[in-house]
A and B are shown apart, each in its own frame.
Chain A
C-alpha cells in the first residue's frame, strides 16, 4: 500500500498528470478562441499549444522548476541532498533528484525502457516484412511504426549517452557532482515528456515521414507528425542543456593533477560528444521549428509552390543529424577504449591518438552532412567536396580500430561479459565501418542510397557504436552501481544470442539492399528474390529482442541478491573502483590526486591516483 502511494506520488505520475491537464487546457483554449472568432474547427493549432503547455505542466507538477521559480520571487533554496525523508531509498529514483549518480541511473533505466518500446515496434514491422504482401499491418500503421521506431530509438540512445556520461564522468574526474545539478535534473526530466509526445503522436493518427520529417510530406502527413516534431525538438533541448553541464564540469572540476592527457579516455569521448551536441543541435531546432510553423501557421519556408525550398530543410536537418550519429557512437567507442586495457592487462595503445581521434571525428563530422543528400538534387558542384570529406571520416575511425587491436596484442586477455560485449562491439562497429566508404563514393551510392544497404550499415554503426558498448558498460559498472555482481552465465548467454543474431540481421539487410529493396516500405516485390533473407532477418531480430530481455531479467534479479560484490572485481586503475560500495553522496570522502597515467597496466610501481592520507605505494 505504501509502495503504491510512493509510486502514485512520484514525479513521473505527477508530471504525466500535469502534462495531461495543461495539454487539454491548451487544446481547449485554442478551441474556445477559434469558436469565439467563428473560425472553422481545426484541432491542430490547439494540439501545438497544448503540447508546449503540456511540457511546462509536466515540469511544474514533477517539481523540476520549483527551485528556479522560488529564486525568481527572491526565495533562496539550498540544494537538497540525500535520500527522501521517511521513504525507502528507492523512492529517490522516482523523484526529481540533483545527484549525478541518481540522474545517471534515471537516464539508464529510462533508456532501457524506451529501447524496449522502440525494439517492440521494430519486431512488429519485422514480422510484417517476413512475407511479401500485407498480413499484420496496413500501410498507415506500418509507416507510423517505422517512423516512431527511428525517433524513439534516437531518444533511447540520447538517454543512454546521458546515463553513461552523468554517472561516470564526475566519478572519473574526481568531482563531487556535475557543475549545475539542477540543470542536470532538468536535462533528464525534459526528455520524459518528449517521449510522451512522440508516443501520443502515434495515437492521434500517426505519421508517415520517417524520423527525418522531410517537407512537403510533413505538410500532408496526419496530425501525429506535429507531436513527433515537437518531441524531437525537446530531445534536442535536453541535449544542449546536458552538454553545457558536461563541458563546464570537465573544464573546471577535475581532481588536482588530472591534466587533459591524464583524463580517463571515456572523458575525452564525453567532451567530443558534448561539443557536437552543444554546437549542432540548434540547427535541427531551427529546422523543426520552421517545419511546424509552416504546417500549422502557414508561414512558408520549404514549400516550393509558395517560394520555399525543400532542400533547405534537408541541409538544416542533416547539419545536426549527421554529427549526431557521432554523439551516439563516440561515448560507446570511449567505453571500448576504457575497458580494453582493463581486460587486456596492458596500457591503452596510443592514448593521445585515440583521444584526438575523437575530436577529429567530431570535427570531420561537421563537414559531411550533405552525403545524405547525394541524390537530392542539390547543386552538383557540392557533391564532390562532400564525397571527399565523407571519405576522410574513415581516417580517425581507423586510428581507433588499429589502436584497439594493438592494445589487445600480446596482452593477457580475459573474457568476462563486459569484455565479450566490447569484442562484439568492435566486430559489429567494424561491419558498420567497412560498409561506409561504398556509400561515400557517389557512383556506388547512386545505387545504394535509400536502399536496405543503408539500413544495414546504420544499424551496424548504432549497435557497434552504442548498443554493444552500452551493454558492456552496464555489466561492467553494475557492481559499482548496485554493489552486486550480475550473473555471468546469463550475461554470456545474452552475448552469444545477440552477436550472431546481429550479424545475420545486418548482413541480410545489406544483401537485400544490393538486390534492390528500398527502405521504408511495408511490402516488397516478390520478384526481387529477397524473401528468404527477409525471414532470416526477422528471426535474427527476434533473437536479439529475446536476448535483451534476458539482460533485463539478469539485472533486476541480480540487483536483489544479498551477496555484496568485491570493490574492484576487474582490477581497474580507474578512481571509481578504488572506493567501496556504496559510493558516498559526494563521491570521494577524501579527495584524490592524480600522480600517474590512467592505463599504465604492467608498469611496476606506477599509480594513477593517490588518495590523500593514504600510505605511499609500496611498489607492487
Chain B
C-alpha cells in the first residue's frame, strides 16, 4: 500500500507534466515558420508527433527524478542505507523492448514520408539552381533559359530544383518550405518543392561556405499562375541583347554572374572593392604599387583575379572561371540571337556610370 501511493502519484504527475511541457514550455519554443509548401504538411505532422514524444519522455524521467529528490531525501542524522535492490530483469527488458518498438515505428514513418518527398511528379517543372560564393542564380530551362538572381515560383506547381555549385558546398533552404539540400560542385543534386502559399520568402544558404556565408540569401517570390506567365513573358522578351545599351546589359551581367555578392554599388565595402566611382580611380595594390582602374585593368582583374589584388583585399576569393563562363554566354547569344557582344565591355560601360 505504501508503495502503491508512490506509483499513483508519479503516474498522475507524469501525465500532468507531459501536458504542461507540451503546452507551456514547448509551446513557446515550438514555433515553426508558416508552412508554405506541400512538403511541409507531412513534415509538420511528424514534428507534432515528435513534440508529444519529447514532452512525454522528458516528463517521465524528470518527474521520477524530482519525485525521488523531494520524497526520498535523506533525513537529518539518518546514516542508514537505502533498501538493497540491485535490479529487475523484467523492467530492464520492458524498457529495452518498448523504446525499440517506438523507434522502429518512427523510422518506418520517416521512410514513408521521405519517399513521398523525393518521388518525381510527372507535372513537375525543372529549375536549375546555381550556388556560388555568396550568390544564388536560377535558370529556367523550360522558359527559354531565363536566368535570374531571384527565384520566382508559380503557386501549386510542383518544381524540381536541379542544383549545382560553382565552387564550395552550399545548402538550399527556405524555412517555410521545410526541406533542405546541399549543392555540390561537379555533381547535380535535386530537391522537390510545391509552393502552396503566395508570398515572399528567402533562400538561406545552410552550409558554411566561407567569409560571407551569413549573407548568402536570395529572394523568393511565389506568385499565382497568371503572374508567373506575365513574368516569364517579360523576361523572355527582354534579352534581345542587341536592343539594349551596353550599360543596361552590364547591369544584367552584374547580377547574372554574381558580381553583386562581393562588389556593392554604394560605398559599402564587402568582400571586394565597391564599384562606386571606381572607374579611372588610382588604387594601391598589395605590393605597394599603384594602378589606374582602366579598361585593361578591369579586364585583367575579371579574367585573372589573383594577378593584381587591391591593398586590403584578399586573393583566392573571386572565381577564376569568368573567362570561360562569359565566353560561353557570348557564344550562346551569338547562336540564338546573332548578336556579337563583349560582356566585359558591357560591365565596363556599366561601371563608368557608377559615380
Q: List chain A positions with a Cβ less than 8 A from chain B.
A: 139-140, 143, 208-210, 214, 216-217, 220-222, 304-305, 310-311, 344-353, 375-377, 380, 383-384, 387-388, 391-392, 394-395, 398-399, 401-406, 408-415, 423, 426-427, 430-431, 433-435, 437-438, 440-444, 446-447, 449-451, 507, 510-511, 514-516, 518-525, 571, 597, 599-603
Looking across the interface, which residue of chain B has its beta carbon closest to that of A314?
B169
Please measure, in the bound complex, the distance between the C-alpha atom of A427 and the C-alpha atom of B100, giving whole angstroms.
22
CB-CB nearest in chain B for A522: B214
Contact call B72/A408, Cβ cutoff below 8 A: yes
Q: Which residues of B contact A438 (CB under 8 A)?
A: 47, 50, 54
Q: List 7 A-B contacts (CB under 8 A).
A: A349-B85, A395-B99, A412-B75, A440-B107, A443-B117, A447-B175, A524-B214
Contact B114–A412 (Cβ < 8 Å): no
Tell me the bound Cα distance from A384 to B33 in angstroms: 26
Interface residues of B (CB under 8 A from A): 6, 25, 28-33, 42-43, 46-47, 50, 53-54, 57-58, 61-62, 64-65, 68-69, 72-75, 78-88, 91-92, 95-96, 99-100, 103-104, 106-107, 109-111, 113-114, 117-118, 133, 167-169, 171, 173, 175-176, 178-187, 189, 202, 204-215, 217, 314, 316-317
Q: Which of A437, A440, A446, A521 contacts B213 (CB 8 A)?
A: A521
Set of chain A residues within 8 Å of B65, measured between Cβ atoms: 404-405, 408, 423, 426-427
Task: Find chain A residues with CB under 8 A from B54 CB.
Answer: 434-435, 438
Q: Which residues of A contact B205 (CB under 8 A)?
A: 518
Pick the 3 closest A-B CB pairs, nearest first. A304-B186, A516-B175, A346-B82
Bound CA–CA A415/B68 (angstroms): 12
Contact of B181 among A346, A351, A377, A444 (CB under 8 A): A377
Interface contact A412-B72, CB-CB below 8 Å: yes
> Does the CB pair B168–A348 fall under 8 Å?
no
A351 pairs with B168, CB closer than 8 A: no
Q: How far is the CB of A397 from chain B (nearest CB, A)?
A: 9
CA A6 – CA B292 in complex, angstroms? Answer: 60
A602 and B82: CB pair below 8 A? yes
**A403 proximity list for chain B (CB < 8 A):** 92
The answer to whether A350 and B31 have CB atoms under 8 Å apart is: no
CB distance from B196 to the nearest CB of A (A): 16
Q: How far is the CA of A349 from the CA of B186 in the complex (A)?
A: 54
Interface pair B184/A377, CB less than 8 Å apart: yes
Q: Is the CB of A447 within 8 A of B85?
A: no
Q: CB-nearest residue of chain A relative to B40?
A: A447
Q: How far is the CB of B271 from chain A (nearest CB, A)?
A: 8
Q: A347-B86, A412-B82 are in contact. Are A450 and B109 (CB under 8 A)?
A: no
A304 to B164, CA, bound (A): 12
Nearest CB on A from B61, distance (A): 5
From A220, which residue of chain B is reached at the shortest CB distance? Answer: B316
Q: Are A414 and B180 in contact (CB under 8 A)?
A: no
A394 and B64 contact, CB distance less than 8 A: no
Complex alpha-carbon distance, A395 and B106, angstroms: 13
- The answer to whether B58 and A430 touch across the interface, beta carbons within 8 angstroms, is yes
Q: How far is the CA of A392 from the CA of B114 in the complex (A)?
A: 19
Q: Which of A220, A402, A511 lies in contact with B210, CB distance below 8 A?
A: A220
- Contact present for B182 and A387 (CB under 8 Å): no
Q: Are A375 and B181 in contact (CB under 8 A)?
A: yes
Indicate which residue in A406, A450, A511 contacts B207 across the interface (CB closer than 8 Å): A450
Taking CB atoms, residues of chain B closer than 8 Å to A391 are 103-104, 106-107
Cβ-defined contact, B211 with A516, below 8 A: no
Inter-chain CA distance A446–B172, complex, in Å, is: 11
Q: How far is the CB of B38 from chain A (nearest CB, A)?
A: 13
Please give the distance in Å from A508's CB to the nearest CB on chain B. Answer: 8
Which B residues are in CB contact (< 8 Å) with A143? Answer: 208, 210-211, 213
Task: Say whether, besides A391-B106, A514-B32, A521 and B50 are in contact (CB < 8 Å).
Answer: no
A46 to B314, CA, bound (A): 20
CA distance A221 to B209 in the complex (A): 10
A413-B74 CB under 8 A given contacts A431-B58, A450-B206, A511-B28: yes
B85 to chain A, nearest CB (A): 7
Contact B187 A442 (CB under 8 A): no
Chain B residues, Cβ within 8 Å of A409: 64, 68, 72
Name the CB-closest residue of B to A397.
B99
Min C-beta distance of A191 to chain B, whole Å: 26
From A345, A404, A444, contact of B80 by CB (8 A):
A345
From B32, B86, B107, B212, give the contact of A348 (CB < 8 A).
B86
Chain B residues near A514 (CB, 8 Å)? Answer: 29-32
Let me know if B114 and A383 touch, CB within 8 A. yes
Question: In whole angstroms, what is the CA distance A507 to B54 when docked?
Answer: 13
Whether B208 pairs with A209 at a CB distance below 8 angstroms is yes
A425 to chain B, nearest CB (A): 11
- CB of A564 to closest CB in B, whole Å: 22
Q: Which residue of B is nearest A520, CB measured?
A: B208
Tell me which of A402, A447, A449, A516 has the highest count of chain B C-beta atoms within 10 A of its own C-beta: A447
Q: Is the CB of B175 within 8 A of A208?
A: no
Closest A residue to B53 by beta carbon equals A437
* A208 and B208 within 8 A (CB): yes
B31 pairs with A601, CB closer than 8 A: no
A225, B312: Cα distance in complex, Å: 20
Cα distance A564–B187 when bound, in Å?
67
Given contact pairs A208-B211, A430-B61, A516-B175, a sample of 18 additional A-B residue pairs in the complex whose CB atoms are under 8 Å apart:
A143-B208, A216-B167, A346-B82, A346-B84, A353-B87, A384-B110, A391-B106, A395-B99, A404-B65, A413-B73, A423-B65, A423-B69, A437-B106, A440-B110, A441-B50, A450-B171, A515-B175, A521-B214
Q: Is the CB of B46 within 8 A of A444?
A: yes
Give every chain A residue within 8 A of B96 (Cβ-Cβ): 395, 398-399
Bound Cα distance A443, B82 (Å): 46
Looking at B62, B180, B202, B316, the one whose CB has the most chain A CB atoms below 10 A away is B180
B167-A353 in contact (CB<8A)? no
Contact (Cβ within 8 A) A346 B179: no
Residues of A contacting B186 in the complex (Cβ-Cβ under 8 angstroms): 304-305
Contact at B317–A220, with CB atoms within 8 Å? yes
In the assembled complex, which residues on chain A have CB atoms less than 8 Å from the CB atom of B69?
408, 413, 415, 423
Give the residues in chain A near B178, CB-CB below 8 Å: 446-447
Alpha-carbon distance between A211 and B34 when the two chains are bound, in angstroms: 32
A373 to chain B, nearest CB (A): 9
With A411-B72, A412-B82, A426-B65 already in contact, the answer to whether A443 and B46 are too (CB < 8 A) is yes
Q: Which of A353, A440, A602 contacts B92 (CB 8 A)?
A: A353
Supposing A350-B88, A447-B180 touch, asked if A216 and B173 sit within 8 A by C-beta, the answer is: no
A224 CB to nearest chain B CB (Å) = 13
Q: Is the CB of B95 within 8 A of A408?
A: no
